[in-house]
Amino acid sequence: MPPMVLEPVFSYGWPIVFGVFALSGFILGWSAQRGNYCFVNAMTSVFTVRSYERFGALLLLFGLSALGAGLLVGIGLIPASDQYYFNYFGGWYILVGSIIFGFGAALAGGCNLSMLYRAASGYVQNWIELFGMMIGTYIFAIAIWPFQLYTMENGIFSTTSGGYVEYLPYLIFHNVSNLSVMITTLIYSIPLIGLGIYLQIRTKKKWKMMSSMSKGMMPSIPKIKAMGSPVPTSIKRMEIGKEAKDLLFLKKPYGTNLTTVILALDMLLVFVIGAGYTFNYLVITSSDGGRFFEYILFLFGQHLFLTTPWFNDSLPIVDTSTLMVVMLCVGAFFSSYLSGDFKIRIPKEKKRLFIGFVGGILVGIGVRMALGCNVGLMWTNFAQIGYDGIIFIFGMLGGVYLAVKVQERL
C-alpha cells in the first residue's frame, strides 16, 4: 500500500508557504478578472450559441494542470503522495452535487471563481449569490450531510478511502512508481490538451465562415494579409509590442488562452511550494463560503461547530485556503479598479437578484454535496490525475444544460 503521509519537500517553513499562497490567490483573482474567466459561461456557450472556444480553454486548463503536476511527480521532484493524498471519496454525491451545482451556478450567472472576482468588481448580484451560497451550505449541513456521511462510511455507492484509491496510476498499474505516474499523466493529459485545441480551432473556423457569409466578403483583416502578401517582420514586432503594452497597462483584457496558461502555472506554483505542507492546490471558495457564514454567526452567539456535525470538521480561520480566497478578492478588486472596470452594478431586472440568491443556495448545496466546487474538486482533481473531476464535469454540464432550458422559459 502506498504511504499516506505528507512531509515537507522543502525546508523554508510556513511563512513562505502562506506568502506564496497569498500571492497565488492574488494572481488568480487578477488574471481571472482580466480574462473574464468563468467555467459556467464556457459551458452555457456550448448550449446557447454552439461556441466551444471557452470550453476548449477549460479542457486545456485541465490538461496543462494534469501534465505539469504529473511530470513533477514523474521526474521525482514531488512525491506521489502529494498528488493523491487529498483525493476525495468518489461516490453518488459527486454526480448529484455537480448537477445541482451546475444548475444553480448557471441560474446565478457564474461559477465559484467568477462569483468571487465579480463580487470584488462591484457586481451586487454576485454579493447576493455569495450570501445564498452560505445559506445553502447551512441547509446542506443540517439536512443532507448526516445521510451522505452514512453512505460514505458504509460504502453505499461510494468509496471509503479516497487518496491513492482514487489515483489513476494506482488503479491502472497497481503502484505509484515514477514510471506509472509518467505514463498515466501522458495518456490522461495529452488528449485533453488536443481536444481543447481542436474545439477552439473548430469554433474559430465556424465564426470566420459565418462572418464571411454574412458580409458577403472576407472577414475584416489587414489588407496586407487579405492580399496574401507576407507581413514584414518589423510590422509583426510592432503589433506584438503594442499588444504586450496594452496588456501590461490594462488597456486590453487578457485573452482566454493567456488566462488559461496563467491559471495553470499558478496551480503548479502552489503544488510545488505547498508540497508536504498543506492541500497544495487551488482550494477555494466553496468550503470557505460556509465557514464565513459560521464566522458571521459567531457575532450573534451562535456556534455551529458545537451544534452542526459538518461544521465540526471546518478548518481554522487562519489557513492557506481562507487566505487564498481573501487575496483572490483583493487581486480582482485591484485589477478591476486600476483598469477602470470597477463599478457598483445592480441589475436592471430586480428579479435577477432573487434568481442569484436561489442559484447561490443551490450552489452551496451542490458544492458541499460533491465535496468541492468547479475549482476545489473538478480542476484540482484533474491535476490529481483522478476520476472525480471527470464525473464532476459531466454532471456540471448536465446541470448547466437544464438551467439553460429553464431560463429559456423564464
Q: Per-residue pLDDT tens for 322-353?
A: 888 889 999 999 999 999 999 999 998 888 89
- The C-alpha atoms of residue 152 and residue 150 are separated, in whole angstroms, by 5
- The C-alpha atoms of residue 275 and residue 319 are separated, in whole angstroms, by 15
For residue 125, what is its C-alpha cell? 448580484
Which residues touch 316 (CB under 8 Å, ≥6 apart)?
none
* pTM summary value: 0.88
* Cα 69 to chain centroid, rounded: 16
How many residues in the chain?
Answer: 410
| pLDDT at res. 240 | 65
Would you write out the chain's pLDDT as a tens digit for each of its 410 residues? 555 677 888 889 889 999 999 999 999 999 999 999 999 999 999 999 899 999 999 999 999 999 999 999 999 999 999 999 888 788 999 999 999 999 999 998 888 899 999 999 999 999 999 899 989 988 998 899 999 999 988 989 988 777 788 899 999 999 999 999 999 999 999 999 999 999 999 888 877 777 666 665 544 444 444 444 455 555 555 566 666 767 776 778 898 999 999 999 999 999 999 999 887 776 655 556 666 777 777 777 777 776 777 776 555 556 788 888 889 999 999 999 999 999 999 998 888 899 999 999 999 999 999 988 899 899 999 999 999 999 999 999 999 999 999 988 87
| pLDDT at res. 311 | 73
- The C-alpha atoms of residue 302 and residue 238 are separated, in whole angstroms, by 61
Which residues touch 212 (CB under 8 Å, ≥6 apart)?
218, 219
- The C-alpha atoms of residue 76 and residue 373 are separated, in whole angstroms, by 29
Cα pseudo-dihedral 275, 279, 282, 285, rounded to 10: -160
Residue among 343, 395, 401 at smallest CA distance from 374: 395
- The C-alpha atoms of residue 311 and residue 160 are separated, in whole angstroms, by 21
DSSP result, 1-63: --------SS-S-HHHHHHHHHHHHHHHHHHHHHHT--HHHHHHHHHHS---HHHHHHHHHHH
351-370 and 92-108 are packed helices; what angle lies between their axes, rounded to 10 degrees?
Answer: 160
Distances from the Cα of 397 to the Cα of 46, 97, 105, 111, 378, angstroms: 9, 12, 11, 12, 12
| pLDDT at res. 225 | 47
- The C-alpha atoms of residue 158 and residue 75 are separated, in whole angstroms, by 32
400 within 8 A of 102, measured Cβ to Cβ: yes
- All structural domains of the chain with their residue ranges: 14-211+249-409
329 within 8 A of 98, measured Cβ to Cβ: no
Read off the amino acid at residue 75. I
- The C-alpha atoms of residue 102 and residue 85 are separated, in whole angstroms, by 26
- The C-alpha atoms of residue 280 and residue 68 are separated, in whole angstroms, by 14
For residue 137, what is its C-alpha cell? 451550505
- Bridge partner residues of 300 (DSSP): none
132 within 8 A of 365, measured Cβ to Cβ: no
| pLDDT at res. 162 | 75
